[in-house]
């Protein structure tokens, strides 16, 4: 399967979470925020600064380092 880091996607792209390649604490925190495997997210802003995504009707800002560790598949 073709995975891409979330940080590499452009604004307006909808994708699904495939894997999270972070430490135990960061992975747990992302799961608690709703970034579970298969969760649909939409990139709302990805220029400088944090990556802002839409998840379940909410806007969530992720640091670029954390967004680089989240692998997604495009829809």
**DSSP string covering 39-62:** -EEEEEE-SSS-EEEEETTEEEEE
Residue 1 has pLDDT above 80, yes or no: no
**How much is the pLDDT for 2?**
87
Domain ranges within the chain, ordered by starting residue: 4-74
Structure-derived torsion over alpha carbons of residues 68, 31, 42, 8, reported in degrees to the nearest 10: 10
What digits encode the pLDDT tens for the residues 15-70? 999 999 999 999 999 999 999 999 999 999 999 999 999 999 999 999 999 999 99
* Enclosing H/E stretch for 65: helix 64-68
Q: Which residue has the tokens 């967004």?
A: 67
How many CB atoms are located within 10 Å of the residue 38 CB? 8
Looking at residues 6-21, what average pLDDT do you find? 95
4-74: which CATH topology? SH3 type barrels. (2.30.30)
């Amino acid at each position: 399967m073709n995975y891409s880091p979330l940080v590499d996607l452009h604004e307006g792209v909808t994708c699904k979470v495939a894997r999270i390649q972070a430490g135990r604490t960061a992975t747990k925190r992302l799961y608690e925020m709703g970034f579970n495997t298969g969760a649909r997210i939409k990139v709302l802003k990805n220029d400088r600064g944090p990556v802002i995504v839409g998840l379940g009707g909410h806007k969530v800002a992720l640091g670029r380092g954390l967004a680089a560790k989240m692998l997604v598949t495009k829809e």
